[in-house]
Structure 1
Amino acid sequence: MTAKEKRSDTFKALMIALLAALVLRQFVLASYNVPTGSMKDTIMVGDFMFVNKFVYGARTPVWLGIPFTDIGVALPYFSFPAIIEPEQYDIIVFDWPEGIHLDYIKRCVAVGGQTVEVRGEKLFINNEPEGRLTPVGRKYDRDMGRNVDYTRVDLPNDDDNYVIRHVSAYNNRRNFGPITVPENQFFMMGDNRDNSLDSRSWGGVRRDQIGGKPLMIWFSWNGDAPAYKFYDKVRWDRLGMILR
């Protein structure tokens, strides 16, 4: 084999590997990094997570353009059949409904046909509390410079629970609705309830905007830790954490 043939074979192997990686990311499993705190403390700034792309029905790319802008073209797309449908209280990755093509991650608190209302710090679905609420303490948030109250939500008829945060940064987050979620849409909220840009601002998320289901955290980087404390830059206790 000549040197030219070796280079050609190497190039072909690299192209095949790149294509396989792109197909894997688009249709099977993708890694996402979280840059904001709207899901704290379920998901922290600096968390890297694997997202299942096929469980809700993988789809071909819907947009080709310049990242973080609306410059580009919409593409005809095809969606594969879903294994399961998105359910209430799932954590979901989806396309931001406001236009710029960004991936958002929130918790689905209501599905089509359900009524959503926020009264004070409490979320009501169909005029019923989202679950049994148990205060679990108060902690100082250095990023916000204030105390944050934590509440555990035990879901009705289920063993699952999750923890939400409340801090009075946005007063309009304390009272909302009631509204009825349109059919085939999903109402998303961040677990960091008072500091989350979510469906209270831009409405429901359509079924065709849903992109995947987060599985687990494979890495977590603490950007607030001093540079000389490299060991503390990694949140070791979050590695391998299952998201639910």
Structure 2
Amino acid sequence: MANQLSKEERRQRREQRRKDQNKQAKSWLREWADALLFAFVAALIIRTFFFEAYRIPTPSMEKTLMTGDFLIVSKMSYGPRTPMVIGIPFTNIYMPGFVLPWVRLPGLGEVERNDIVVFNYPIDLAPVAAKTNYVKRSVGVPGDTLRIDDNQLFVNGDRAQSFPGIQKTYEVQVRNRVRLSAAKVKAAGGTLYRSQQPGRYRINMNDQVAETIRQWPEVTNVELFVLPDGFNEYDRRRFSFSSGFVNHHHLPTTVVPFKGQTVTLTPENYHVYENIITRYEGNNVGRNGDQFTINGEQTNQYTIQQDYYFMMGDNRDNSEDSRFWGFVPQTHVVGKAGMIYFSWDAERWLPRFDRLLNFIHD
């Protein structure tokens, strides 16, 4: 019959349908691939120049930031850095021994005193951007004069501003044959550690909790715990601002280095500036008694090439910070902690719903 299709025509139509189906599938896959590529590039640009996620791994900022908090860090606040290394995006894998020329782009402002800042851990042995991320409070900005007396921080001669999240260790004495309840202390907002002396406890807490516990009938005395000046709590190989060992409850008067500052190097103060001159600003230094040679030139004068910051954790007696390893160079600043977008309580295996989407206030 004339209207009947021949076998060849039917075959050609089936072949055409298969081609059309394959074409539609390829078009669908191409659309998805384009969308995924666009999302990947957009996420990479956002992470590099605008915002980055960060997780709090340690209690050094409690109670301001809790272990298990997930932060959004604003790189725009202080200016994003162009890429420094070549590596696999969204991982810590990078090409060793190869560092890109980089610059810091203009930001919304400078690091201000008491900002909560994410930065690269200065004394890591890696390219700057590949170093571990730390988060602390910038208690000292370039040019500030700091000192710590009996575990109290002073900035430019005045006692440093206090914040509700700042915790310190207090010694609490109770009446004879009375035991202090750890659950009661925890409910008040502190963490109890039993002291070796009977009737005396050490509690990590903020000033407000200390005042509350001071009113308890079983408590006879509450005072700030202070290490004796000169107490060698840590080994002598660690960084020190004073006499070769760390005592984080005492710090002699120290000026936070700033760009353009000229310092006179002596055997007594070289430990303060050694990392700055050699590690962060790339100079070769030799010493012969009280004489210094910098890049082959004999001189005891050095001019600082960039700004530096003094960082401290809000959990003051449970934080390794600038009191232990020195200043943070401006090149190592990543961004400002902006918002807690999620928080996980590992003890209860539950989210901390009251912390979700909380903006971080200095």
Deviation at 1:84, TM superposition (A): 0.8
Match of 1:27 in 2: 49
- Structure 1 length as normaliser, TM-score? 0.80
Match of 2:26 in 1: 4
Question: How far apart, in 1, do the equivalents of 2:189 and 2:250 lie?
Answer: 22
- SS of 2:336's equivalent in the other structure is strand
- SS of 2:207's equivalent in the other structure is strand
Q: Which has the higher helix share?
A: 2
Instruction: Please point out which of 340, 344, 347 is paired with 1:224.
Output: 347
Q: Would the alpha carbon gap of residues 132 and 88 (structure 1) be closer, same or farther in structure 2, given more than 3 Å must change?
A: closer
- Structure 2 length as normaliser, TM-score? 0.56
CA root-mean-square deviation: 2.9
Question: How far apart, in 2, do the equivalents of 1:57 and 1:116 lie?
Answer: 26
Q: Bigger radius of gyration, 1 or 2?
A: 2
Identity across matched positions, percent: 36
8 Å contact kept, 1:26–1:58? yes
Please state if 1:84 is matched with 2:109.
Answer: yes
Deviation at 1:4, TM superposition (A): 2.5
Match of 2:92 in 1: 67
Please state if 1:206 is matched with 2:262.
Answer: no
Q: Deviations over 1:148-201 (max 9, x none)?
A: 13136xxxxxxxxxxxxx877968221123221100111100001111111112
Aligned positions, number: 223
The within-5 A match list for 1:25-174 is 25-64=47-86, 67=92, 71=96, 73-99=98-124, 100=126, 101-131=131-161, 139-140=190-191, 147-151=203-207, 172-174=247-249
The within-5 A match list for 1:178-197 is 178-183=253-258, 184-197=307-320
Unaligned runs of 5+ in 1: 153-165, 228-232
Q: Which has the higher strand share?
A: 1
> Stretches of 4+ moved more than 4 A in 1?
68-72, 132-138, 166-171
Question: How far apart, in 2, do the equivalents of 1:73 and 1:172 lie?
Answer: 38
Question: How far apart, in 2, do the equivalents of 1:22 and 1:120 lie?
Answer: 46
Deviation at 1:8, TM superposition (A): 2.5
Match of 2:11 in 1: none
